[in-house]
């Protein structure tokens, strides 16, 4: 496991550029950007984000949140053959003081508590992951 250093400059940039809502980047692009996994704030698709989460992160085993932890929200979806699977819904990054930083859909980038994030997406099926 590597120590995650949040990029404070990138958080400020994502907050400033997403303050009034924009379609130029999404929650997954924001997550990668503020964790310094990419050098630009952009729209990232689930076809990139799901393998990233699988290959570059691992479920967190100890209790409590640490700066850089990734909150991952999953929803239930069904393939055309009727088989249920988990669908990636949203990510946010823990930045300390009980707050996660994230981009809310087409809305603003903001700091929210865990409860606020879950309420925004009407999901409580989540896991906490950390970079490896």
Range of the domain at 122: 8-131
Q: What is the number of domains present in the chain?
A: 1
Please give the full DSSP string across 41-58, using - where no structure is assigned.
-----HHHHHHHHHHHEE
Angstrom distance (rounded) from CA 83 to CA 48: 22
CATH number of the domain to which 61 belongs: 3.90.1720
72-122: pLDDT as tens digits: 999 877 777 877 778 899 999 999 999 999 998 777 889 999 999 999 888
- Tokens at residue 35, please? 């964790």
Task: Assess if residue 67 is contained within a domain.
Answer: yes
Task: Assess if residue 2 is contained within a domain.
Answer: no
Q: Which residue carries 């990233």 as its tokens?
A: 52
Task: Assess if residue 112 is contained within a domain.
Answer: yes
Task: Assess if residue 3 is contained within a domain.
Answer: no
DSSP structure class, residue 67: T
Task: Assess if residue 1 is contained within a domain.
Answer: no
Task: Assess if residue 77 is contained within a domain.
Answer: yes
113-122: pLDDT as tens digits: 999 999 988 8
CA-closest candidate to residue 70, choices 24, 29, 132, 131: 131
């Amino acid at each position: 496991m590597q120590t995650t250093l949040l990029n404070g400059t990138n958080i400020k940039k994502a907050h400033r550029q997403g303050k009034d809502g924009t379609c130029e980047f999404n929650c997954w692009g924001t997550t990668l950007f503020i964790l310094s996994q990419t050098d630009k704030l952009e729209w990232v698709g689930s076809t990139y984000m799901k393998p990233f989460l699988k290959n570059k992160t691992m479920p967190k085993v100890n209790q409590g949140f640490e700066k850089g932890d990734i909150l991952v929200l999953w929803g239930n979806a069904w393939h055309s053959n009727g088989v249920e699977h988990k669908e990636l819904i949203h990510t946010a990054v823990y930045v300390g003081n009980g707050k996660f930083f994230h981009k809310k859909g087409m809305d603003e980038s903001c700091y929210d508590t865990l409860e606020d994030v879950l309420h925004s997406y009407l999901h409580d099926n989540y896991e906490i992951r950390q970079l490896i």
